[in-house]
Amino acid sequence: MHNGSRGVRRVDVHFYHRDVPDAGRPIYLDQKFGVRFIWATVQSTVDSYERSGKPGYVTGNPVLVTMSSKDAVKLRIPKTMNLPEPNGYGVCDVHTTGPRQFVNFLESVDVRCRVQVKHRSMQLSKRPEDHTTPGGGISFIDICNDIQNETMTVLGNYEGALVASLGDPDVSRWIPFVVVKPAAQQSPLTEHSCASVADGVHIRVLYSHVGPFDGPQATVLGVLANYTSSAVTVSGNGDRPAAVAEVPVRVTVVFVDLTRPPVRTFAEPPTYEFRLPEDFYYPFWSSGAGRPSRSVRKVHFVVVVVGLQLLLSYLHCDGPYSSRVPV
């Protein structure tokens, strides 16, 4: 159990055993290990969450998000980033209590469904500038705002949201979302059409592998949520205009790898330099200020070798110790 940024308060370890029969042959056992973090100030285990990495995200683990507040230390309990889950008819119900689709690290998601917004016993006002009409009616602007609220509930509002950079609850490593929304439409509303209603959000999770080459850590560098909008037509039903709007929405999540590939570098080949010993020409000349250069010494060495060869040839053939056979 822990209380956020102050660390662990208590650790409980539980072991579960089972009987293994002696069948007289080798038995293969499987073991399961699990770690669960629970907030010390929360009594219910429903609000607890599992860590997705320490450090660095693990592929397939949920992406952790939370909502920011005035004090960055007092963040809400992190939760798994989730998306709408359509039913068997392809409709995303706003008021459903069913589970939503989780977003796991490095698993791209593309959700498409329809949002049905129904207004019961409404009277549409033909004056768009009015928010309410005499006699308890509702203006068309209110209807468009209601449709916008319903679609945003399905899409999710990520303004003020934070994402865990390394998948752990370290507050100093949480990164805010970058949210881009389309500009408000300046065109006037028609009698049965809303000019601009948010109908999609495309999320790009930018990550990189940071750290040593043999053990990099998957780190989230930023999240961009880009909303899209389009015009929505509102239809009535006969004398009782129970206004109905059906908005097709789309939510996508894409992971973008910004890791720079490693560069292979090779050392320059060694330079070989051969040198003769300093006393190689001794006693032909002594060392001192008049020391000849290396090129001169090479020439002298060749001359000496050639001279020795000529001398040996002379002594062997025509020297004073050579023997002649009389004819």
Question: Taking Cα atoms as reference points, which of 247, 225, 66, 49 lies closest to residue 154?
Answer: 247
What is the C-alpha to C-alpha distance for residues 33 and 20, in angstroms, rounded to an integer?
19
pTM of the model: 0.62
pLDDT of residue 126: 46
Quote the CA–CA distance of 141 and 147 in Å, as a whole number: 10
In whole angstroms, how large is the CA radius of gyration of the chain? Answer: 42
Specify the 3-state DSSP secondary structure of 30. Answer: coil
Tens-digit pLDDT profile for residues 183-204: 776 555 666 788 888 999 999 9
Distance CA 54, CA 77 (A): 18
Summarize the confidence of residues 263-269 as an average pLDDT. 83
> Residue 3 pLDDT > 80, yes or no?
no
What's the DSSP call for residue 257?
E
Distance CA 4, CA 27 (A): 43
Whether the Cβ atoms of residue 4 and residue 37 lie closer than 8 Å to each other: no
Using one digit for the tens of pLDDT, what is the confidence trace for 76-134?
567 889 898 898 888 988 877 667 889 999 999 999 999 988 764 344 544 445 444 44
pLDDT of residue 75: 53
CB-based burial label for 36 (10 Å; 0-12, 13-18, 19+):
exposed
Lowest mean pLDDT across 81-85, 264-268, 313-317: 313-317
Neighbours of 4 (CB within 10 A): 16
